[in-house]
Structure 1
Amino acid sequence: MDKLSFLGLIVAISAIAIGYSLEGGVVSALFNGPALIIVLGGTLGAVLLQTSSRVFSKTLKISHWVFFPPNHNIDDAIEQVKRWSHKARQEGYLALENDALSHPDPYAAKGLSLLVDGVSEQQLRDTLEIDLMLERERLLEVSRVYEAMGGYSPTIGILGAVLGLIQAMAFITEPEKLGAGVATAFIATIYGVGLANILFLPMANKLKQQIEEKMLYHEMLAEGIIAMSQGENPANIELKLEAYRFERPTLADE
């Protein structure tokens, strides 16, 4: 669980609510069903119009990464590569066949399968690099969906404001209803700008971060498997992969 994502969302909403209250506002007045329907529905509709079903389906599947990111433990992966390397040097590449079939990560499984099949080093490198590039591009399409939502949301909020003002003008002779209509109009603008800058755009950026961490993890696995195909010593492979650690120990830590 990414606690910072939850904390950031709570801090942002709380700061707005508390600041509004300190100015004498009533927080419950910020909740407006019609305005929310206009902004969320309009934004979602615009995104559906521009997005393919494949990309939108992928978006639904990995959006939870913002709050519950996948675990890519570099330290464990380096130890795993070392074990593979030891096994390959002692028993040959065919000994890795069961690892290739049982590994839960499709990218690692494919790399090991290619190694077991005895493909050339260049073919192995080219295949893993192409897969990595295409995987990154497919996942980044998801972050672009949220970027698009962050772009449309403020504009839809303005549209909601105009619709609210049109409705308010119908009650120009009734001040009580006129005030309520104007309030709804401004709340739609708040929803549009707020959702874009508190939710959609931060989600897009957090997804990009999680995607890059996954790509780094796969890049490390690829380098380890390629080093194995070159017959490198397990200790040398570990030294090469050390650079991929997210946090490197300092002299003070030691």
Structure 2
Amino acid sequence: MDISTIIGAVAAFGLMIAAMMNGGSILLFVDPASIMIVAGGTLGSTLIHYPFKEVFRAVSVAKKTLFHKDQAPGEIISQLIEYAGKARKEGILSLQSVMSQVEDPFFLKGLQMAVDGQEPEALRDMMERELEYVQERHETGADIFTTMAAYAPAMGMIGTLIGLVQMLQTMDDPSSIGPAMAVALLTTFYGAVAANVIFTPMSGKLKHRSSSEMLCKTLISEGMNSILAGENPRVMEQRLHAFVAPNLRESNFKK
């Protein structure tokens, strides 16, 4: 579970709720009609923008903002160095014995192709094509939440305009103007909160997750190609270190 997401959500909503309660009852900020306009309008516009299956898939992708385990690049490099050494000493078929230790389907597919005797070019083509598809899926998921972040404030403004029209129709009753104006502004409030506290941060988190995952998969792709080419593990480590920040580079060889 991602602690930063939980802390951020608690801080953002907690401070807003505290500010609401400071001026009176929190129920003043609850209006079912405004919620329906913002939530329903945002969802409807998103369904018009994207196919249903893409929107439905985004719901499952959203879970990655809370439940996701990042794999450290250093761990992957160490794994690849270990497998490279084993392949050089015992042959490429010896990697079949370590496949049960690998959980990443992308890594497992690369090992299986190597054990099956695929040529380095075929392995590289497969893994690069897989990387492209994964990146495309990730971008679509993040883009959906970016789109929802754009629609939510617009739906809030539409709700405000609806409320203002209704308010202007009852101008002959001054006592109804204040409550009607408050309800009209609530839709703008809901839209702003949805966009800036939910959808935009979720999109940003998903893009960060995608970047981290793509780095790990790129390391796996480059490492597997080096193993098939019979590259020296030390040389392979230096090449893989080029993909990570200098402060994260740890050698697996004693000097």
The TM tier, using the shorter chain, reads: 0.7 to 0.9
> Structure 1 CA distance, aligned partners of 2:145 and 2:227?
39
Confirm whether residue 6 of structure 1 aligns to residue 20 of structure 2.
no
> Structure 1 CA distance, aligned partners of 2:220 and 2:248?
21
> Structure 1 CA distance, aligned partners of 2:178 and 2:191?
20
How far is the alpha carbon of 1:190 from its aligned partner? Answer: 1.1
Query: Partner of 1:200: helix, strand, or coil?
Result: helix
The answer on whether the counterparts of 1:99 and 1:112 sit within 8 Å (CA) in structure 2 is no
Matched residue, 1:61: 60
Matched residue, 2:185: 186
Confirm whether residue 79 of structure 1 aligns to residue 78 of structure 2.
yes
Q: Deviations over 1:74-100 (max 9, x none)?
A: 222222212221221222212223544
Computed over aligned residues only, the root mean square deviation of the Cα atoms, in angstroms, reads 2.4
The answer on whether the counterparts of 1:74 and 1:244 sit within 8 Å (CA) in structure 2 is no
Q: Alignment identity in percent?
A: 29
Query: Partner of 1:184: helix, strand, or coil?
Result: helix
Q: What does residue range 1-254 of structure 1 map to in structure 2 within 5 Å? A: 1-18=1-18, 24=23, 27-100=26-99, 103-245=102-244, 248=247
The answer on whether the counterparts of 1:100 and 1:110 sit within 8 Å (CA) in structure 2 is no
> Structure 2 CA distance, aligned partners of 1:53 and 1:115?
38
How far is the alpha carbon of 1:58 from its aligned partner? Answer: 2.3
Inter-CA distance 209–81: structure 2 relative to 1 (3 Å threshold):
same
Q: Which runs of 5+ in 1 are unaligned?
A: none
TM-score, normalised with respect to structure 2: 0.87
Q: Deviations over 1:172-225 (max 9, x none)?
A: 333333322211100101111221112111111111010110000100111111
Query: Partner of 1:158: helix, strand, or coil?
Result: helix
> Structure 2 CA distance, aligned partners of 1:161 and 1:15?
24
How far is the alpha carbon of 1:60 from its aligned partner? Answer: 1.6
Matched residue count: 249
Residue identity opposite 1:195 in structure 2: A
Inter-CA distance 247–69: structure 2 relative to 1 (3 Å threshold):
farther
> Structure 1 CA distance, aligned partners of 2:79 and 2:12?
41
